[in-house]
Amino acid sequence: MWKEIPIPFYFSAYFFDIINPDEILKGEKPQVRERGPYVYREFRHKRNITFNDNDTVSYREYRNFQFQPDMSNGLESDYIVMPNILALGASVMMEDRPMSLKLIMTLIFTTFNQRAFMNRTVGEIMWGYEDPFIQLINKYFPDMFPFKGKFGLFAELNNSDSGLFTVYTGIKNFSRIHLVDKWNGISKVNYWHSDQCNMINGTSGQMWAPFMTPEYSLEFYSPEACRSMKLVYEAQGTFAGIPTYRFKAPDTLFANGTVYPPNEGFCPCLESGVQNVSTCRFNAPLFLSHPHFYNADSVLAQAVLGLDPSEKEHSLFLDIHPVTGIPMNVSVKLQLSLYIKAVKGIGQTGQIKPVVLPLLWFEERGSMEGKTLEMFYTQLVLLPRVMRYAQYVLLAVGCVLLLIPIVYHMRSQEKCYLFWSSSKKGSKDKEAMQAYSESLMTSAPKGTVLQEARL
């Protein structure tokens, strides 16, 4: 089960379709509408598994995605109007460069028909599309982008692995089960500006140490977010009859350094509630947050029309069985946004007001079901419940078995006493009769005695 995870995982993407691209170029507030979900079945399997001598195991986990049209609200062929990440992202990156370079960039954009906004299909946005501009960049600036050929938001995830994980097996110390020892051979990353933010903490996000308490916190390393995340206990509950602890993201998860000083290492920051991930995403001005800027500074959601943050719809949670540390029900929701603005010297940016514009938000969810759920219910709930009641039944049976010899012994004592009493009484009666007979023989005539004796 650890190698080939039997739990079905689903990846749901919700796109923010831009309604007024021309007005945005004139300096007006962006207006979006949510499209989706576009649902994919996510298959995970571990390969290159190597058990090491220091109580660790190394592996690569591969993932592939298959579109599920029956679960989706739309098709991969649907067109979405989105910011041109390459053009607008490159423009912000060029803001402090000499004007001559900006003019050259404007000329290149014009030559390759790169505009501020693009109209692409869901499949192209997700898994990549061919673009002559990307080919030019890769030819003359081969180290600028980490991808070759097609460009897509999730092109790196499909049919690929999330890096080489080395985690503890927990054989020698079960409290360290699945804790990450190294990722891609390193024990800390170098994306951020503090040792604390660069640390690889917790597990790989698939299981945790058993025997949890409400004081426990869930920590895991996410290669996609390029950082470790910590979730906190929220409440006790049940999933399909199995007791669980629910863990959620704290308010400080994406807080900026001003609101939460330990997050200062993730800066440069904007408003609280969005994390700058440009340092691990080829320096493009990309930001990570909760969907619809939930739990973020209200200024962010107010700057874009069409957003409606909701705790019920946009918060993430993990339901964990506290005795085993195994997830029963998981829903991780994150949003990817692009910071855009007008850059002097690059005509394609027009008069865009500075804004963090949502691109899409996605949910990765999975829950126990089918035979796997039945097995866990039997092992984790039914058998412990039977054993709990069985101990009382066995205790009662033991008491009965203990009482049987006691009662038997007491009844045996009583019989002995009755037998002894009756024996003693019988001997006294015989003596009395013998004395009576002797008295008759001495005081009465012989014939009378014989007559009474007959009687």
> Which neighbouring-strand residues pair with 129?
151
User: How long, in residues, is the chain?
Assistant: 455
Q: Which residue has the tokens 């409400």?
A: 214
Mean pLDDT in residue range 55-59? 95
Q: What average pLDDT does the structure give for the chain?
A: 88
Residue with the bigger pLDDT between 298 and 96: it is 298
Look at residue 290 and tell me whether its pLDDT is greater than 90.
yes
Mean pLDDT in residue range 115-141? 86
pTM of the full structure? 0.84
Over residues 327-381, the pLDDT tens digits come to 999 999 999 999 999 999 999 999 999 999 999 999 999 998 888 888 888 888 8
Residue with the bigger pLDDT between 204 and 139: it is 204
Q: Is residue 116 part of a domain?
A: yes
Q: Is residue 277 part of a domain?
A: yes
Torsion sign across C-alpha atoms 25, 28, 33, 38:
positive
Contacts of 176 (CB under 8 A, 6+ apart): 55, 168, 170, 209
Write out the H or E segment, with its range, that includes residue 314.
Answer: helix 311-314
> Running DSSP on this structure, what letter comes out for residue 322?
T
Write out the H or E segment, with its range, that includes residue 90.
Answer: helix 85-93
| Per-residue model confidence (pLDDT) at position 138 | 74
> Running DSSP on this structure, what letter comes out for residue 146?
S
Look at residue 24 and tell me whether its pLDDT is greater than 80.
yes
Pairing of strands 242-248, 317-321: antiparallel
Q: Is residue 424 part of a domain?
A: no
| Per-residue model confidence (pLDDT) at position 450 | 45
Q: Which residue intervals of 202-310 are DSSP H helices?
A: 298-302
Residue with the bigger pLDDT between 139 and 290: it is 290
| Per-residue model confidence (pLDDT) at position 449 | 44
Q: Which domain holds residue 337?
A: 9-368
Q: Please report, in angstroms and rounded to a whole number, the separation of the first and last CA atoms in the chain.
A: 99
Over residues 379-430, the pLDDT tens digits come to 888 888 888 888 888 888 998 888 888 887 777 776 666 665 665 555 555 5
Domain count, the chain: 1
Contact in structure between 122 and 86 (CB atoms under 8 Å):
no
| Per-residue model confidence (pLDDT) at position 453 | 45
Nearest to 90 by CA among 126, 137, 153: 137
Contacts of 110 (CB under 8 A, 6+ apart): 347, 348
| Per-residue model confidence (pLDDT) at position 439 | 63
Mean pLDDT in residue range 12-32? 96
Query: If you compute the radius of gyration of the chain from its CA atoms, what whole number of angstroms results?
Result: 40
Q: Is residue 260 part of a domain?
A: yes
